[in-house]
Amino acid sequence: MDNCIKEFERYLQIERNLSDHTLAAYRRDLEGFRLFLAEHFAVDAPTLEHLRQVDARLLRAFLARLGKSCRRTTLGRKIAALRTFFRYLVRAELVAANPAETLVTPRRDQYLPHTLSVDEACTLMEAARGEDVLQLRDRAILETLYSCGLRVAELTSLNVEGVDLDERLVRVLGKGRKERLVPLGRKACEALERYLRHRGTVQPSEPLFLNHRGGRLTPRSIERNLKKHLLQAGISLDATPHSLRHSFATHLLVEGGADLRAIQEMLGHASLSTTQKYTKVSIDHLVRVYDQAHPRSRKK
């Protein structure tokens, strides 16, 4: 089974061109399944013959155990991993049928993303001041996250050549290694220009954002820096870099009246249904405005 998982991972990497993040998630999911099979068949290392004995009933038993500790979204991803893995085994003629095809993916938990208000976002940007290279870098990071709605991993993977300050565009490599162009706001352009000017001569292939040792900045470092700037700005919201992505989308939709399809393109969502969660935020905003403004709704 270990060899099957390794070959499956090579298939995902080479033929499906999946991101390292997705590969790591599938690897963890299948390792959990391998441990379950080892326990079920009372062996140290499950073999291909054990995989051939797996049926939908056994898969449901595995998922029932996971359901006690996993969220629906996590459970859905594990089902997708199993379905894709057995589909690969069928294609490679290693098993006769895919027992995961009949599994039902659970409906995702509905939640509203945490967002900053427009005033809070502006306060956060303005509070990130300073003229040394790290302070200029932090301001450029915040402006770029909020201006473009990037995932933090997309931001840290940017190189200097990925930003066109003249055209005000960012070339982003998103999930599934899909490339997209995202407009860059004027304030973000100004912040990036100041930061790069302070860095001096840079090569196009260099990372856009560097740590204090001159290496590529990590997502964890960006999250720590954001917490620090939130405190400095006096904002009590427990926000993450992804909160700025949510704020970007919500403010475009609610405040700017942007088209949902355009927001989908800028966020890099494969499906419009993923983007539609922001319409719920928009409706909540409209209800609040109505309650505050309509004479028959205002509290006396």
Selected catalytic residue, list 151, 229, 246, 251: 151
Q: Is 269 a catalytic site residue? A: yes
Helix (H) or strand (E) holding 115: none
| Amino acid found at 66 | L
With contact defined as beta carbons under 8 Å apart, do 182 and 252 qualify?
no
With contact defined as beta carbons under 8 Å apart, do 73 and 109 qualify?
yes
Q: Is 175 a catalytic site residue? A: yes
Q: Is 21 a catalytic site residue? A: no
Selected catalytic residue, list 175, 187, 194, 285: 175
With contact defined as beta carbons under 8 Å apart, do 209 and 217 qualify?
yes
CB burial of 119-148 (b: ≥16 within 10 Å; e: otherwise) equals ebbeebbebbeeeeeeebbbbbbbbbbbbb
Q: Is 245 a catalytic site residue? A: yes
Q: Which three-class secondary structure state does DSSP give residue 163?
A: strand
Q: What is the largest CA-CA distance in the chain?
A: 73
**Distances in Å between the alpha carbon of 133 and those of 198, 210, 295?**
6, 10, 53
Give the residue among 229, 207, 120, 190 at the shortest CA–CA distance from 155: 207
Task: Give the integer Cα–Cα distance in Å for 9 and 238.
Answer: 36
With contact defined as beta carbons under 8 Å apart, do 210 and 156 qualify?
no
Selected catalytic residue, list 27, 50, 242, 277: 242
Q: DSSP E strands: which ranges in 51-164?
A: 163-164
Q: Is 278 a catalytic site residue? A: yes
With contact defined as beta carbons under 8 Å apart, do 116 and 243 qualify?
yes
Residues marked active site are found at: 151, 175, 242, 245, 269, 278
